[in-house]
């Protein structure tokens, strides 16, 4: 069974601070996706990274895929209250549609 461990599990910081969330596995994935989920809602896709070492930016969010395609990070610059939510990484198996979700990071930005 593939496992994706996220750290930290919980993070509460002041508005304007920077933060990094990590997603680690011993398995290699063909691609990795990051989602944000609000309470009682479905996850919303933020980004997909495919190539080892790939870096993608989405406004104040920077996503990186590890060189070996086993890990990923999400960095948020100048966090805002609207960034509050559950952040989930999800790795895709080779050759099928199956996604394995990470353990999740619950982020709270304090105004």
Interface ranges with another protein (CB under 8 A): 30-31, 33, 35, 40-45, 48, 50, 88, 90, 92, 96-99, 101-104, 106
- Smallest distance from another protein to CB 10, Å: 10
Report which of 8, 35, 20 is spatially closest to residue 75, judged by C-alpha positions.
20
- Smallest distance from another protein to CB 94, Å: 9
The per-residue b/e assignment along 30-49, b for 16 or more CB within 10 angstroms, e otherwise, is: ebbbbbbeeeeeebeebbeb
Neighbours of 66 (CB within 10 A): 20
Rank residues 43 and 85 by Cβ distance to another protein and give the closer one.
Answer: 43
Rank residues 31 and 73 by Cβ distance to another protein and give the closer one.
Answer: 31
């Amino acid at each position: 069974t593939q496992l994706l461990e996220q750290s930290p599990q919980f993070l509460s910081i002041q508005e304007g601070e920077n933060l990094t969330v990590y997603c680690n596995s011993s398995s290699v994935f063909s691609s990795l996706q990051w989602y944000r989920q609000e309470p009682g809602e479905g996850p919303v896709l933020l980004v997909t990274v495919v190539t080892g070492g790939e870096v993608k930016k989405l406004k104040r969010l920077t996503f990186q895929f590890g060189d070996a395609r086993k890990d990923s990070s999400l960095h948020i610059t100048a966090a805002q209250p609207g960034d509050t939510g559950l952040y989930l990484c999800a790795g895709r198996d080779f050759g099928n549609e199956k996604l394995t979700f990470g353990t999740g990071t619950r982020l709270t930005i304090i105004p």
